[in-house]
Amino acid sequence: MDQPTLALLYQYGIGGTLFFASLFLAFQSGAIRWDNLKNRILVVSMTAGLLLFAAAHAAWTFYLAR
């Protein structure tokens, strides 16, 4: 594995863990409720945004920047 791969795995591994841990804590505390439509849209859009950003970052790193 080359250096950019390790960097991406590290960044999104640590960042994703913190992101999902904070979502878990928000659900557990009751700050976010899945039965509320606005909360559901917020959680889905934040998760989709993280995944889209990670995919764009990976594409930029492996295909466009070489």
Q: Digits of tens for pLDDT over the chain (66 positions)?
A: 568 888 899 999 999 999 999 999 999 999 999 999 999 999 999 999 999 999 999 999 888 876
Integer angstrom CA distances of residue 2 from 25, 43, 62: 35, 33, 11
pLDDT at 39: 96
The two structure tokens encoding residue 19: 């992101």
Query: Which pair of tokens denotes residue 21?
Result: 């841990």
The pLDDT, as a whole number, for residue 64 is 81
Rg (CA), the chain: 15
Alpha helices per DSSP H over 1-66? 3-29, 37-59
Q: Residues 20, 27: contact at Cβ < 8 Å? A: no
Q: How much is the pTM?
A: 0.82
